[in-house]
Amino acid sequence: MVNNVLQVKRTSTSGRTPNTTASYATNTQYIAAGEFALNMADGILYSSNGTAVITVGANLVNQNISNTLQVANINFESTANNQLVYSANTLTIRSGGANVIFANTTTVAARANVAMANNYFTEPTLKSYKEYTEIGGTVTTSYTANLALSNIFTLTGTNGSNCVFTIGSPPVSGNAQMFTIVFKQPATGSANVTWPAAVKWSYGDTPVISSTVNARDVFTFLTFDGGTTYLGAYSMANVAS
């Protein structure tokens, strides 16, 4: 730039970009070091360091704003399924086609599963929450209650069979998990269960389950030591279907 004159080129042709090849005489898209080129159709401002074209703002890592930043609309889009959009007082984060929406209301809508990765909700107030139920179907001689899948398991025994239970994926020691197993007798005959040795019952008495056809027994368990022990309770017995 000569005599501190700011040189700006402009174009209204979408997709047209400047370069640093040759000179003004042979290249109409040439910009020298410190000059600017504005593509009005694409809304992009370019500059040059003499050897390469720079998209202004493209190489910034952090921006510190000490006062108020007012933005009417933001739309950062890498693909149709990965976007950050702010419009009409609503921030939408889309990842893999799933949305997390922060609106100008008291409600946050997560329209997908949220994996917390053992992080914490601190002092929440939960209102009308539901729990996923793992429906194990009919079991015969063995069943594993996988605590990574659910806190509630419903099962139906097989006539004359003894189902040996194991418990998988307990939380690490220091984190507690309570879970429930609903065991239903089959329509023809009776089934029995054997609990893991780690299950501890009141007074050391293992409960005898109901044998009535189609009856349900409900058992509740609590562990807080990584599955070394499970405190068991015979919550409901011989509940009719």
**Burial class of 167 by CB neighbour count within 10 A (0 to 12, 13 to 18, 19+):** buried
Residue 87: its pLDDT value, please? 73
Residue 121: its pLDDT value, please? 80
For residue 71, what are its two tokens?
């933005």
Residue 1: its pLDDT value, please? 44
**Burial class of 51 by CB neighbour count within 10 A (0 to 12, 13 to 18, 19+):** exposed
Q: Residue 192 and residue 195: Cα distance in Å, rounded?
A: 10
**Distance of alpha carbon 113 from the chain centroid:** 5
Provide the residue ranges of all domains of the chain, joining segments of one domain with +: 1-63, 64-122, 133-239
Contacts 24+ apart (CB under 8 A), 140-144: 142/166, 144/168
Residue 3: its pLDDT value, please? 56
pLDDT tens sequence for the chain (241 residues) = 455 667 788 888 988 889 988 888 888 888 888 888 888 888 888 888 888 888 875 444 555 555 666 666 555 555 667 777 777 777 777 776 667 676 666 566 676 777 777 778 888 888 898 999 999 999 999 999 999 999 999 999 999 999 999 999 999 999 999 999 999 999 987 999 999 999 999 999 999 999 999 999 999 999 999 999 999 999 999 999 8
Residue 104: its pLDDT value, please? 67
For residue 46, what are its two tokens?
């370019």
Beta strand pairing call for 216-223 and 230-239? antiparallel
- Other beta carbons within 10 angstroms of residue 144's beta carbon come to 15
